[in-house]
Amino acid sequence: MKKEIISEMNMSLILERILLTQRLTSLVNMIMMMNLMITLLLMMMMMMTWKCRCPLLYPKVEVCLFWKVKMKMAFQFPSHKRVKLGIRSNKMN
């Protein structure tokens, strides 16, 4: 009888420990996910601000546009406006 009671106690203790560890791991996972989200948001903000500081990188650029949009715009404009956008094509050597 005593042995059975002891084994049951051990089992309950082990189960409690397992549950605790599961809760802890889930908490850690939540915190890690939050950190990931925050870092991604910060990266996006940094990229946005970096892209919007075009005049510092390209003094000829007057409009703050994303790089892809700039590239698309550059091939629609005539060559004299390409110089304003700060993109040199193959023809302008």
Separation between Cα atoms, residue 69 and residue 91, nearest integer Å: 21
Per-residue model confidence (pLDDT) at position 43: 81
HSE-CB for 75 with a 13 A CA cutoff: 6
Per-residue model confidence (pLDDT) at position 10: 78
What are the extents of the domains in the chain? Answer: 1-52, 54-93
Question: The whole model's pTM is what?
Answer: 0.35
> Which residues does 73 contact at the CB level (< 8 Å), separation at least 6?
65, 85
Percent helix, strand and coil across the chain, each rounded to 5? 75, 0, 25
CA 70 → CA 54, 55, 66, distances in Å? 11, 13, 6
Per-residue model confidence (pLDDT) at position 40: 86
Residue carrying the six token digits 């809760």: 23
| Segment 12-69, tens digit of pLDDT | 888 888 888 888 888 888 899 998 899 888 887 777 666 555 445 554 444 444 555 5
